[in-house]
Amino acid sequence: MALKKKPVSGMKDMLPAEMQLRDYVTGLIKETYKSFGFSHIETPCVEHIENLCSKQGGDNEKLIFKIMKRGEKLDIESAQTENDLADSGLRYDLTVPLSRFYSNNANGLPMPFKALQMGSVWRAERPQRGRFRQFMQCDIDILGEAGCLAEIELILATTTLLGKLNFKNFKVRINERRILKAMAAYSGFAEDEFNAVFIILDKMDKIGWDGVKQELLESGFGQEKVDRYLSLFSEMEQADDRLAWLEEKLSGIIEDGVIENLRTIQVSVDATKTSSFDLVFDPTLVRGMSYYTGTIFEVEMEEFGSSVAGGGRYDKMIGKFTGNDTPACGFSIGFERIITILMENGFQIPGDSVKKAYLIEKNMPSDKLCEILKEAKEEREKGACVLVSLMNKNKKFQKEQLMKDGYTEFKEFFRK
């Protein structure tokens, strides 16, 4: 059987030019987030299957790459379900592993704890532009901070990073899960119906309001409920101050402080942001993860046509490990989507060192070879990137390939 040269579907080989860009972006991420006080941590890529299947990851739980039990633990004959055969799986995000990490190490961590994570995750989904089965995630999370300072810091840190990558005029959409729930309750939906309603609302940008109405009715929800629900959105659009309108409309239903909390986030971010972007309240923003409990947000870019970053507050997840709820809020950058946009736009790494190639004729005498290596060492000490390589027979093709890798200066050495 012949070996296959191409990578597994949904995964890819990365050529030097892309790796150079990825290394630059990851370095900038670390530098930027650390300047906001985030500490870099790492969790294993393999997680307990019980944690991954704890009904906190939404549809991602259907996409787990499960790892079979080994040795005597693997009993295929008596297994009744897939989970009887697996005891672990590849992580599908970094949030569930972070919650386990914090639960296990909280006594040795500061309060609040600001975590930075970067690493690969795996999802068995259909590959498409900017979406792979193995991909890098870059998360920042603040654990133990109940106030809106966490949301403000997360939005400022993420948008500062995007600004350093020359992204401008993007949009940060923000909403509150408690606003979504209050609107649904006001309309007459029962609490156990909320998630079904939100799943349909989340499709609004694809199917429009008519499509949302049709799907709600086809799902068995009454005409009166649906009309009252959709009228909230249409009436809100006419208000000069939509948050103030919601606060009055949902009085007695929405929790105290929710609207004021959201307003504080908006005012604070607008007053202190360093990048060019708009922070807008979007009452249709849902975010699919079932673990979100409060503020939710997404970064939307016209260049990509969809969100490139997202996150929110998940105050109940850590309590599932410890028995005590811990305030938590996070923001995740779609690293692969960012890299895709940068590569398509021909992004140039600023201030990159000069790349020189020393091409040496074969069978160079040792004394002369030492002189060449010494010269290369001195150039590297000055900050240059120096490649020392034997000269190919087809020297022109060799130089063309090196130029594609960013080499701009060439020096040839011959025996005589």
Percentage above 70 pLDDT, the chain? 94
Of 321, 405, 407, nearest to 359 (Cα)?
407
Which option is the CATH number for 16-344: 3.30.930.10, 3.65.10.10, 3.30.590.10, 3.50.50.60?
Answer: 3.30.930.10
Q: What is the per-residue pLDDT across 28-80, written as a single tens digit (0 to 9) for each?
A: 999 999 999 999 999 999 999 989 988 776 677 888 999 888 766 666 666 56
Q: What is the per-residue pLDDT across 244-271, written as a single tens digit (0 to 9) for each?
A: 999 999 999 999 999 999 999 999 999 9
Is it the case that residue 234 has pLDDT exceeding 70? Answer: yes
The domains of the chain are located at 16-344, 355-413
Beta 385-390 vs 355-360: how paired, if at all? parallel
* Per-residue pLDDT at 205: 85
The encoded tokens of residue 368 equal 């002369």
The crossing angle, in degrees rounded to 10, of helices 223-237 and 204-218 is 150
**Dihedral sign for Cα atoms in the order 34, 38, 41, 47:** negative
**CA separation (Å) from 1 to 4, 58, 161?**
9, 40, 48
* Per-residue pLDDT at 346: 87
Yes or no: say if 114 and 38 are a contact pair by the CB < 8 Å rule: yes
Buried b or exposed e, range 300-314, using 16+ CB within 10 angstroms: bbeebeebbbbbbbb
Average pLDDT over residues 277-302: 89
Instruction: State the residue for tokens 């156990």.
Output: 192
* Per-residue pLDDT at 38: 97
Q: What is the per-residue pLDDT across 388-406, written as a single tens digit (0 to 9) for each?
A: 999 998 989 999 999 888 8
* Per-residue pLDDT at 229: 95
3-class DSSP state for residue 295?
strand
DSSP assignment of 80-129, as one string?
-SGGGTEEEEE-S-SHHHHHHHHHHHGGGS-SSEEEEEEEEEE-----BT
**pLDDT winner (highest mean) among 23-37, 306-320, 348-362, 376-390:** 23-37
Q: How far apart (Å, rounded) are the C-alpha atoms in residues 355 and 387?
A: 8
Q: How far apart (Å, rounded) are the C-alpha atoms in residues 19 and 25?
A: 10
Q: What is the per-residue pLDDT across 77-112, written as a single tens digit (0 to 9) for each?
A: 665 666 667 889 999 999 999 999 999 999 999 999
Q: How far apart (Å, rounded) are the C-alpha atoms in residues 269 and 280?
A: 11
Indicate the average pLDDT of the chain: 90
Q: Binning pLDDT at 50, 70 and 90, where does residue 289 land?
A: low
* Per-residue pLDDT at 80: 60
Q: Residue 371 corresponds to which amino acid?
A: E
Average pLDDT over residues 116-125: 93
Yes or no: say if 197 and 189 are a contact pair by the CB < 8 Å rule: yes
Q: How far apart (Å, rounded) are the C-alpha atoms in residues 297 and 200?
A: 18
Which residues lie below 8 Å from residue 338, measured CB to CB, with a gap of 6+?
A: 25, 162, 165, 308
Pick the range with the lowest mean pLDDT from 116-130, 131-145, 156-170.
Answer: 116-130
The encoded tokens of residue 385 equal 């990137």
Q: What is the per-residue pLDDT across 66-80, written as a single tens digit (0 to 9) for each?
A: 988 876 666 666 656
* Per-residue pLDDT at 130: 61
The H-or-E segment that residue 139 falls in is: strand 134-143
**Dihedral sign for Cα atoms in the order 109, 112, 159, 34:** negative
Torsion of CA 288, 251, 258, 176, to 10 degrees: 20
Is it the case that residue 118 has pLDDT exceeding 90? Answer: yes
Q: How far apart (Å, rounded) are the C-alpha atoms in residues 233 and 246?
A: 10
The answer, as to whether pTM is greater than 0.85, is yes
Buried b or exposed e, range 70-83, using 16+ CB within 10 angstroms: eeeeeeeeeeeeee
Q: Residue 2 corresponds to which amino acid?
A: A
Instruction: State the residue for tokens 């922070």.
Output: 279
- In 187-251, where does DSSP find H-type helix? 194-201, 204-218, 223-237, 242-249
The encoded tokens of residue 290 equal 């079932």
Stated length of the chain: 416
Average pLDDT over residues 130-144: 90
